Amino acid sequence: MQPAMNASQSLQKTCRLRGVRIPAPAPHRPASAGTTGAAFARGPIQLMQEEDVYEEAFQPHVAEATNIKAKDGDQYRTLRGYSGDGKTLKSLLAARPDKIQSDRLFRILNFLVKDVVGGRNKGIHQFDCAEPHAVAQQTGFNVPLENIRITSIKVAKGYKAGQTRYPCDNCSQWLEWSDSEDSYKIRKEMLDRSWRDRYRIGMGRMSGETLKNSLNL
């Protein structure tokens, strides 16, 4: 029988299992004149808490976007998107103003959503998540945003792989849960504000409102 571990040993084992580095004790430095005391190094508990916050926001994940108007046998009815470099997705969406639904998604993410998460792509992290990547797969086929639902969000890697994940603080700004549909849909106020004032259609122009009505949305 192994001897019982004390609290310090138990904490060290937990940190090792979770991959949290326990820093060496900081050397003692006497407080200099005019200060209230010496600074303390971050402890393992604080590191574990910071890891949880980081992991929740930036863990690799996959989302499924479903076209609710497509038939059950349609192979493109549900498409997957993986979290990745938001700079690439932003560039792709911005480069296709002729793709009306892709342009609307770009306008939502770029102008209506504020990045409150940050990270490596601070300021545009809202493009990093799997949810916009999945929706972008559908808008590539000109599926109206009104007809797209996020039906699954899962952790893709690590010891939590396969577990359900909820939208981050960025995605929660443009997605909302629908009990009746058992999925996430784009918020109506975001949909309404995603249209341009005018569109060039063929040789002429059409207002966003007229185009919306012509699509029966």
Length of the chain: 217
Contact indicator for 64, 154 with CB cutoff of 8 Å: no
Categorize the per-residue pLDDT at 28 as very low, low, confident or very high, splitting at 50, 70 and 90: very low
pLDDT at 38 over 50: no
DSSP string for 11-35? HHHHHHHHT---PPPPPP-PPPTT-
pLDDT of residue 199: 92
Mean pLDDT of 43-61: 59
pLDDT of residue 93: 95
Average pLDDT, the chain: 83
Query: Does the structure show a pLDDT above 60 at 173?
Result: yes
Residue-level pLDDT at 87: 94
In which band, very low, low, confident or very high, does the pLDDT at 79 lie, cut at 50, 70 and 90?
A: very high
